[in-house]
């Protein structure tokens, strides 16, 4: 970890207009929760839709995508990455510092509204579960999207394909695809801790934790390796 | 002594060869990397700065490989051509962050010293986004200098600078090379810039090292090549006969309203032209060098 990199990354991230994109989604989540709570419908009928299908399946991954692809990706886009690359720093230090910022920002931006919504729905244990699930999911997603931002020129597009096609379409047709879905891991963790009808999950807790760890390690190591031999594109191409 | 050595270095992107079998050594002092746009200067600098892997050959900085070797940046500073600076930082914050990233013992002092070298202390607390191009450039030089590197690489450092800023930067580079003994390499596509600054020149054309060494020698190569002039005067035919008597003239063609004159020595011909015209009572109305673009100069160098 490097405090200088963390400090500049936080300033760069929160100083950009892109960060405002994080605001509307939590508002929708809290709004829908209020409607759910005040309606006569059973918890099990609206809860999984709001917390699972919206909270953990849309808000968490999209927040992670915006943040995770920005922390290093924007510097690569505008060329300021050379300032970091021309320093005698282990590349792992750069990647870990960037990942730390993305993780904390995503966890706060997705976890806090989820916890607030769970408290409105009257489940303290679900609030705890959702925050932990957001933390786990945020780390796995951010590691993935951070790696994508070093590996491809279009991390947001590739990330969206993963979220939309893999996690939302493929998973509903092919059971095995769940194992490689961060959203399923996060949902499982929140469901096991929360233990309420507001959420349901389909993967075992062990699988979720092991696979999340795989995402985190592969993403971080992949990003570091790629950054080690990061070739700057000059005038020649 | 810290040198940058390229041995038989090539770099290609797919089918495009950007740098072709270049071998050169840059030692202490100021060296100019000269070449037309797109010749591969930036690629060469990026290879030296460890930001590109050589497809073939080796790049050494102070004896250590440049590629995949972050420790090398302790001895090297780079100022890229792309004017990329985090505009939300002040110059002070930016240079201080660079010092901290280099893990220097006293980063604040190093940042102060670097900003003093480029004379940016007065504006150092303003955001970089409010700076002029020259100020940004100086800030980036300060950041590249903060760890007191033995080797400094600058890609087109004078681009977009006004004459005063240019002069200031030239004086700065001179001082750092001559008095402090640093190895400084800067790229440029403008011959005159290199001439004013540097005794040693490496000329790159189409990815190849076209010429290398003292600029005066290269300058002579450039000035003794055949030149073409378009001349109009009060009596073109008379002037043509007079000029044909000159040794420096290799050919004259009479066209409607103008003469096309081929000369083999720029200096001798231009001095003789005025003298001969005056002696024979011919008034010159225009003298245009026809092929003075730098690209032609370079392609001539490649052909020899």
- Among A4, A85, A91, beta carbon nearest to B97: A4
pLDDT per residue of chain B (304 residues) written in tens, 0 to 9: 689 999 999 999 889 999 999 999 999 999 999 888 888 999 999 999 999 999 999 999 999 999 999 999 999 999 998 878 889 999 999 999 999 999 999 999 999 999 998 889 999 999 999 998 888 999 999 999 999 999 999 999 988 778 887 888 888 899 899 888 999 999 988 777 777 777 788 989 889 998 888 877 776 666 666 778 899 999 999 999 999 999 889 899 998 888 999 888 777 888 889 999 999 999 999 888 775 555 666 666 666 5
- How far off is chain B from A229, nearest CA to CA, in Å? 6
With an 8 Å Cβ cutoff, are A15 and B88 in contact?
A: yes
Cβ-based contacts under 8 A for chains A and B? 88
- How far off is chain B from A16, nearest CA to CA, in Å? 10
Interface test with B, best of A17, A235, A237 (most B CBs within 10 A): A235
CA-nearest residue of chain B to A4?
B97
Spatial separation of the C-alpha atoms in residues B245 and B242, rounded to whole Å: 6
């Amino acid at each position: 970890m490097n405090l200088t990199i963390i400090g500049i990354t936080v300033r760069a991230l929160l100083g950009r207009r892109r960060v405002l994109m994080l605001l509307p989604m939590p508002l929708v989540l809290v709004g829908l929760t209020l409607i759910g709570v005040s309606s006569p419908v059973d918890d099990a009928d609206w809860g999984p839709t709001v917390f699972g299908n919206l909270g953990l399946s849309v808000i968490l991954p999209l927040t992670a995508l915006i943040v995770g692809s920005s922390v290093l990706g924007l510097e690569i886009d505008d060329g300021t990455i050379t300032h970091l690359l021309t320093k005698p720093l282990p590349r792992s230090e750069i990647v870990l510092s960037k990942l730390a910022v993305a993780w904390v920002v995503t966890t706060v931006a997705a976890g806090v509204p989820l916890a607030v919504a769970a408290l409105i729905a009257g489940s303290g244990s679900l609030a705890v579960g959702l925050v932990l699930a957001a933390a786990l999911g945020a780390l796995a997603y951010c590691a993935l999207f951070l790696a994508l931002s070093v590996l491809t020129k279009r991390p947001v597009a590739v990330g969206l394909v993963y979220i939309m096609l893999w996690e939302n379409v493929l998973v509903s047709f092919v059971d095995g695809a769940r194992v490689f879905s961060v959203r399923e891991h996060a949902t499982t963790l929140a469901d096991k801790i929360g233990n309420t009808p507001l959420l349901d999950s389909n993967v075992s807790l062990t699988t979720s934790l092991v696979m999340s760890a795989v995402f985190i390690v592969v993403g971080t190591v992949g990003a570091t390796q790629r950054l080690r031999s990061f070739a700057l594109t000059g005038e020649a191409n | 002594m810290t040198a940058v050595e390229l041995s038989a270095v090539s770099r290609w992107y797919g089918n495009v060869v950007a740098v072709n079998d270049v071998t050169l050594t840059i030692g202490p002092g100021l060296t100019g990397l000269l070449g037309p746009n797109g010749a591969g200067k930036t690629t060469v600098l990026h290879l030296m700065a460890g930001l590109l892997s050589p497809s073939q050959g080796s790049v050494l900085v102070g004896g250590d490989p440049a590629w995949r070797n972050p420790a090398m940046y302790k001895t090297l500073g780079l100022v890229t051509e792309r004017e990329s600076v985090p505009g939300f930082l002040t110059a002070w914050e930016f240079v201080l962050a660079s010092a901290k990233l280099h893990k220097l013992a006293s980063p604040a002092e190093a940042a102060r010293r670097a900003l003093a070298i480029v004379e940016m202390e007065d504006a150092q607390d303003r955001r970089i986004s409010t700076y002029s191009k020259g100020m940004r450039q100086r800030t980036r030089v300060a950041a590249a200098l903060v760890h007191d590197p033995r080797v400094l690489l600058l890609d087109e450092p004078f681009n977009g600078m006004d004459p005063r800023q240019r002069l200031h930067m030239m004086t700065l580079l001179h001082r750092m090379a001559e008095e402090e003994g640093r190895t400084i390499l800067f790229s440029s596509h403008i011959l005159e810039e290199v001439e004013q600054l540097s005794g040693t020149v490496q000329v790159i054309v189409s990815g190849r090292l076209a010429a290398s060494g003292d600029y005066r020698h290269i300058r002579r190569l450039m000035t003794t090549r055949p030149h073409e002039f378009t001349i109009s005067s009060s009596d073109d035919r008379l002037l043509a006969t007079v000029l044909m008597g000159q040794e420096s003239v290799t050919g004259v063609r009479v066209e409607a309203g103008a003469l096309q004159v081929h000369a083999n020595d720029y200096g001798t011909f231009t001095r003789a032209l005025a003298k001969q015209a005056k002696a024979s009572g011919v008034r010159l109305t225009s003298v245009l060098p026809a092929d003075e673009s730098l690209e032609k100069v370079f392609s001539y160098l490649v052909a020899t």
